[in-house]
């Protein structure tokens, strides 16, 4: 249950700038087999990015060619993705086997014409298209009431960690309003407005959005239908201003500005207007091991200068055993292009006390004289 930090110093004793980056290779964890070891290799794990845009799975679901379909929100309570089909006035949620195969439709509802939405606090929020009305549905698909906004709503997203609700208004600027969620799952005070996101997806209109608070360096996801791409955008939540585009990659077949994407915590889901299927793509963000991390992950060091890397080790909720990894420092040093730092964490099993039985019942007794 303890955490600790260690410092690794990287020195440049040469006459030219040292450009370096890094990868983390997991070598051993309790219960780790050969197949897992090959997956958690130097090019697939750690602070570096995975292969963004890799197609991980696909199925038809409620999408069809020339239908306006959007993947709108991950139901983390039931581990399923909600998808809308505006053309047919339906929405459905899908589960899978954990490997983006064997997809199953878990529930289907008929909410009328809606496109974007989100899942937060055990409720599905769906916007009635081109109106200020957002309807709320419980886990069984029952409409429990609506919320009214003073403008027509396009995109919808939520931040369950900070209890925030984000709605994109119609109009040329497509401002994204940020509200506090109340204790009754209503909409409270407006705490900010994102006004400058258009420039970060090439000023192409987009009527949907996704928000991933678990990725603080790039929370906002917006599609660009003219290139069938999704853009991951960093937002400064102190002043609610977009600061940079983190990455962009193809999610083929968006085709229309009305179609948004969803994120399940690890991957991007897309449907769109052109193809007759629902697709899941690698989001390009590494899901490294919880027990070790480090920063910075890259940099440039001048001649006779040095830089410090902080390695954090966290034994919270870990099983007993050995955890071993190598941090690979990859650089332009022609004689040492891959310098390695070994990380070894040994988790000892702690004693746990139990009592049996936990209570003693003697029944009624008589105390004699």
Tell me the Cα Rg of the chain. Answer: 25
CA 4 to chain CA mean position, Å: 26
Q: Is residue 163 classed exposed, middle or buried when 0-12, 13-18 and 19+ CB atoms within 10 A define those classes?
A: middle
Q: Considering the entire predicted model, what is its pTM?
A: 0.70
Q: What is the pLDDT at residue 363?
A: 77
Closest among 315, 316, 323 to 342, alpha carbons compared: 323
First to last CA, the chain: 55
Task: Pick left, alpha or beta for residue 66 (phi over 0 → left; psi -120 to 50 → alpha; otherwise beta).
Answer: left
Per-residue pLDDT of the chain (369 residues; tens, 9 = 90+): 788 999 999 999 999 999 998 888 888 888 776 544 433 444 433 334 458 899 999 999 999 999 999 999 999 899 999 999 999 999 999 999 888 999 999 999 999 999 999 999 999 999 988 899 999 999 999 999 999 999 999 999 999 989 999 999 988 889 999 999 999 999 999 999 999 999 999 999 999 999 998 787 899 999 999 999 999 999 999 999 999 999 999 998 899 999 999 999 889 999 999 999 999 999 988 666 778 988 898 899 999 999 999 999 998 878 899 999 999 999 999 999 999 999 999 998 777 677 878 777 777 777 775
Closest among 173, 178, 217 to 199, alpha carbons compared: 173
Contact 93, 80 (CB under 8 A): yes
Q: What is the pLDDT at residue 198?
A: 96
Instruction: Please give the full DSSP string across 10-51, using - where no structure is assigned.
Output: EE--SSS-EEEEEEEEEEE-TT--HHHHHHTSTTTSSSS---
Helix (H) or strand (E) holding 282: strand 278-282
């Amino acid at each position: 249950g303890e955490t600790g930090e260690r410092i690794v110093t990287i020195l440049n004793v040469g006459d030219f700038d040292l450009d370096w980056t890094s990868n983390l290779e997991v070598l051993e964890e309790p219960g780790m087999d050969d197949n897992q070891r090959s997956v958690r290799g130097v090019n697939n794990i750690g602070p570096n990015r995975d292969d963004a845009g890799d197609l991980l799975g696909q199925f038809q679901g409620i999408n069809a060619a020339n239908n306006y379909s959007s993947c709108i929100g991950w139901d983390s309570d039931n581990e399923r993705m909600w998808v809308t089909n505006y053309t047919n006035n339906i929405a459905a949620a899908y589960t899978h086997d954990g490997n983006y195969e064997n997809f199953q439709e878990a529930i289907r509802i008929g909410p009328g014409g809606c496109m974007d939405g989100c899942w937060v606090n055990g409720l599905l929020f769906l916007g009635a298209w081109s109106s200020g009305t957002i309807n709320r549905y419980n886990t069984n698909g029952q409409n429990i009431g609506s919320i009214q906004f003073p403008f027509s709503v396009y995109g919808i997203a939520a931040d369950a960690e900070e209890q925030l609700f984000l709605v994109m208004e119609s109009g040329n600027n497509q401002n994204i309003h940020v509200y506090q969620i109340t204790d009754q799952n209503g909409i409270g005070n407006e705490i900010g407005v994102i006004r400058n996101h258009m420039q970060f997806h090439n000023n192409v209109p987009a009527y949907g959005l996704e928000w991933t608070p678990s990725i603080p360096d790039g929370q906002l996801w917006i599609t660009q239908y003219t290139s069938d791409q999704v853009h991951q955008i960093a937002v400064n939540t102190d002043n609610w201003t977009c600061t940079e585009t983190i990455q962009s990659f193809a999610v083929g077949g968006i085709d229309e500005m009305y179609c948004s994407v969803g994120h399940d915590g690890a991957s991007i889901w897309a449907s769109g207007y052109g193809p007759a299927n629902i697709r899941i793509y690698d989001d390009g963000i590494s899901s490294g091991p919880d027990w070790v991390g480090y920063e910075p992950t890259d940099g440039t060091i001048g001649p006779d200068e040095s830089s410090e890397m902080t390695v954090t080790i966290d034994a919270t909720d870990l099983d007993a055993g050995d955890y071993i990894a190598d941090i690979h420092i990859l650089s332009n040093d022609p004689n040492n292009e891959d310098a390695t730092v070994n990380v070894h964490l040994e988790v000892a099993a702690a004693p746990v006390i139990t009592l049996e039985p936990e209570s003693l019942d003697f029944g009624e007794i008589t105390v004699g004289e």
